[in-house]
Amino acid sequence: DGGITQSPKYLFRKEGQNVTLSCEQNLNHDAMYWYRQDPGQGLRLIYYSQIVNDFQKGDIAEGYSVSREKKESFPLTVTSAQKNPTAFYLCASSIATHNEQFFGPGTRLTVL
Amino acid sequence: AQSVTQLDSHVSVSEGTPVLLRCNYSSSYSPSLFWYVQHPNKGLQLLLKYTSAATLVKGINGFEAEFKKSETSFHLTKPSAHMSDAAEYFCVVSAYNAGNMLTFGGGTRLMVKP
pLDDT, one tens digit per residue, over B27-37 is 877 888 999 99
Contact A98 B32 (CB under 8 A): yes
Q: Is the pLDDT of residue B98 over 60?
A: no
pLDDT of residue B29: 78
Q: Is the pLDDT of residue A1 over 60?
A: no
Q: Is the pLDDT of residue A98 over 90?
A: no
- Which residues of A fall below an 8 Å CB-CB distance to B? 4, 6, 33, 40-43, 45, 48, 88, 90, 92, 97-106, 108
Q: Which of A40, A42, A105 sits opposite B42 (nearest CB)?
A: A105
Q: Is the pLDDT of residue A46 over 70?
A: yes
Closest chain B C-alpha to A57 CA, distance in angstroms: 13
pLDDT of residue A2: 65
The contacts of residue A111 (CB under 8 Å, 6+ apart) are A12, A13, A14, A15, A85, A86
User: Confidence class of residue B52 from pLDDT cuts 50, 70 and 90?
Assistant: confident
Q: Are B66 and B74 in contact (CB under 8 A)?
A: yes
pLDDT in tens, A11-22: 999 988 999 999
The mean pLDDT of A93-110, rounded to a whole number, is 90
Alpha-carbon distance of A44 to B110, in angstroms, equals 21
The contacts of residue B113 (CB under 8 Å, 6+ apart) are B12, B13, B14, B15
User: Confidence class of residue A40 from pLDDT cuts 50, 70 and 90?
Assistant: confident
Question: Mean of the per-residue pLDDT values for chain A?
Answer: 92
The mean pLDDT of B106-110, rounded to a whole number, is 95
Q: Is the pLDDT of residue B101 over 90?
A: no
Amino acid at B94: S
Q: Is the pLDDT of residue A35 over 90?
A: yes
User: Confidence class of residue B99 from pLDDT cuts 50, 70 and 90?
Assistant: low
Top-confidence residue, A37 or B96:
A37
Cα A32 to chain center, whole Å?
A: 8
Q: Which of B46, B106, B107 sits opposite A100 (nearest CB)?
A: B46
The mean pLDDT of A25-53, rounded to a whole number, is 92
Q: Is the pLDDT of residue A88 over 90?
A: yes
